[in-house]
Structure 1
Amino acid sequence: MATTPRQATPDSSPRTWRRARLIETGRVARRSARRRSLALATLAILVLAVVLVPLLVRLDQQLVDLRAAGLPPSLAHPFGTDEVGRDVLLRSIYGLRVSLLVGLVAAVVSATIGGLVGLAAGAAGGPLDRLLMRVVDGVNSMPHLLLGIFIVALFAPSAIAVIVSVGVTHWTTAARIVRSEVLSLRGRPFIDAAVSGGSSRLRIVRRHFLPNLAPHLLLATVLMVPHAIWHETALSFLGLGLPAHLASLGNMINDGQRSLLAGDWWSSLFPGLLILTPTLAIHALAQHLRDRANPRRRSELAL
């Protein structure tokens, strides 16, 4: 009985499979590029707003006008006014400036502490590594918000207290990232060659560890900014962050919740959106940086 030879279907052809993979990879790359462009545009608009608006609009953010109290959004007041007649848009921009500045400084402080701890643990090894990792486990075992509240309660409400609170409670992630990367670098051939050549430990850290750790520290810092912004907002909402007379997004949401029963929804909605928008944009930018730092992970996600 004659049999027909087995024909390869198009789906099983290696060439067709590679073409489909390239097409899918291109789609993922284009989608990632669109997200990156949108995130950069959003952050650029927000940064320009917080820099230029206070310079161009000569209005007092604390100006009270009881005749304009509780006005809904309009052309004169795009975000409406609060319960004492202050412009919500102007106060939101001032609050966003404070949140971005505090979040960025707190993220840098947190990444610096975590980077130093992770570098010391990974480079030294032995008992020091085990001791520092137990400290990291101990800090991680405590709720960050409760620990932050305890730290802020020791100081008067100020931006410095919030920065210290975030820096002390959020450095453990950066420490673990840096330690794992240092342990990976210690097994590389160029490190063995440097040790065999008589390089000191300090020279190895300066010439080999730090350049390879810079992208990971940058990514950890960018990822820490949204956490710092939310942390500052939560503390200000609880009345433990920035002083009540300063425009802060957390303070504005706390003040706006009293107006919700009167139907003034805009007093809390727009400051909340200004918290959500930069955090989503920064998160999208951090994903792009993570894909650039680890192209293999990006190709695996495209399968």
Structure 2
Amino acid sequence: MPVRLSLAALAVLALAVVLVPPIVQLDQSLVDLRAAGQPPSLSHLFGTDEVGRDLLVRSIYGLRVSFLVGLVAALVSMVIGGLVGLAAGSLGGLADRLLMRVVDGFNALPHLLFGIFIVALFAPSPVAVVVSVGVTHWTTAARIVRSEVLSLRSRPFVEAAISGGASRTRVVRRHLLPHLFPHLLLATVLMVPHAIWHETALSFLGLGLPPHLASLGNMISDGQRSLLTGAWWPSLVPGLFILVPTLAVAVLAQRLRDRLNPRQRSELEL
């Protein structure tokens, strides 16, 4: 997917998420059996589900919920991972080895199964999904931050600051964090689609968001029953609302990574 097409797709979806909910109010408990299971038409562009709800409107509401949950979950995982990686890289020695063993232990756990275990401790809610994703996906950020901190510690300007008597806190605040921010931003952008997939998987299994709440995972799960009657649109429409924005974000994140690290791009092109 080209960069311009990705930007256009995200812009259209963002406008829909912002403008549609205030204009078109969605009754989550609406049941209109007269309009149930209608295929795509002029009255319902993407058709209706098994109880007569418009799939386009529900998908937009579901995308808004999934994106907000994914964004908050990604930020939580980046904060946890960033702090752990910064502590490991800055302290070094025994603290570094112990923290990295904790990271290895979390990486050895199956993320989805561990996430299901965490969500099972709470009632289905956005908070439970945020906690599940944040607790299971912080290790990537920790490794990224630690490797960057270890690289920065050997730079002349950091060594000069340490030799000049700068405290550890000052070195972290003035010299490490400004260089780490672009990498954390990239990791957060890449984590958002992954968090959305995680939330969708949990909701599909009935463990994520409440069933009455418009969620892309819930909609795909409900659409499975319609496949038996030949209705393909209840599953396809929310699936597209997951696939298109996540692919667009991945393309833009790849471009951002090339701009942040042009040397890596030139090496890959050789």
Q: TM-score, normalised by structure 2?
A: 0.98
1:104 to 71, 87, 99: 71
Counterpart of 1:269 in structure 2 is: 236
Partner residue, 1:159 = 126
Unaligned runs of 5+ in 1: 1-33
1:45 and 1:198 mapped to 2: Cα distance? 52
Any conservation in 1 of the 2:223–2:234 contact (CA below 8 Å)? yes
Distance in structure 2 (CA, Å) of the matches to 1:59 and 1:146: 33
Q: Is the 8 A contact 2:161 2:171 kept in 1?
A: yes
1:200 shift after superposition: 0.3
CA displacement, residues 103-139 of structure 1 (integer Å, 9 cap, x when unaligned): 1110011011100000000000011100100000000
Q: Tell me the secondary structure at the aligned position of residue 259 of structure 1.
A: helix
Letter in 2 for 1:108: L
Alignment check: 8 A CA contact 1:118 1:179 kept: yes
Per-residue Cα deviation, 1:27-75 (whole angstroms, up to 9, x for no partner): xxxxxxx822222221111111011011122453542110011100001
The SS at the match of 2:148 is helix
Retained in 2: the 8 A contact 1:95–1:249?
yes
Mapped pair 1:95 → 2:65: no
Secondary structure, counterpart of 1:82 in structure 2: coil
Contact 2:26 2:58 in 1 (8 A): no
1:69 and 2:36 equivalent? yes
The aligned amino acid for 2:77 is: S
1:98 and 1:59, CA in 2 relative to 1: closer, same or farther beyond 3 A?
closer
Paired letter, 2:15: L
Distance 1:265 1:284 in 2: 28
- Residues 63-99 of structure 1, C-alpha deviation per residue, up to 9 Å, x if partnerless? 2110011100001101101111111111111000001
1:301 to 2:268 alignment: yes
Q: Which moved more, 1:256-265 or 1:60-69?
A: 60-69
Aligned match for 2:209, one of 226, 242, 245 = 242
Partners of 1:59 and 1:203 in 2: CA distance: 51
The answer on 1:147 being equivalent to 2:80 is: no
The structure number with the bigger radius of gyration is 1
Q: Percent identity?
A: 79
Is the contact made by 1:191 and 1:204 (CA closer than 8 Å) also made in structure 2? yes
SS at match of 2:40: coil
Residue 95 of structure 2, aligned match among 121, 128, 135: 128
Given that residues 185 and 191 in structure 1 are in contact (C-alpha distance below 8 angstroms), is that contact kept between their aligned partners in structure 2? yes
1:161-180 matches, within 5 Å, as 161-180=128-147
Match of 1:119 among 78, 86, 89: 86
Match of 1:35 in 2: 2
The reply to whether residue 207 of structure 1 matches residue 174 of structure 2 is yes
2:161 corresponds, among 194, 197, 207, to 194
Going from structure 1 to structure 2, the CA distance change for 1:125 and 1:59 (only over 3 Å counts) comes to closer
For structure 2, which runs of at least 5 residues remain unmatched after alignment? none
Q: Could you tell me how far apart the structure 1 residues matched to 2:25 and 2:118 are?
A: 37
Conserved in 2, the CA contact under 8 Å of 1:252 and 1:267? yes
The answer on whether the counterparts of 1:62 and 1:86 sit within 8 Å (CA) in structure 2 is no
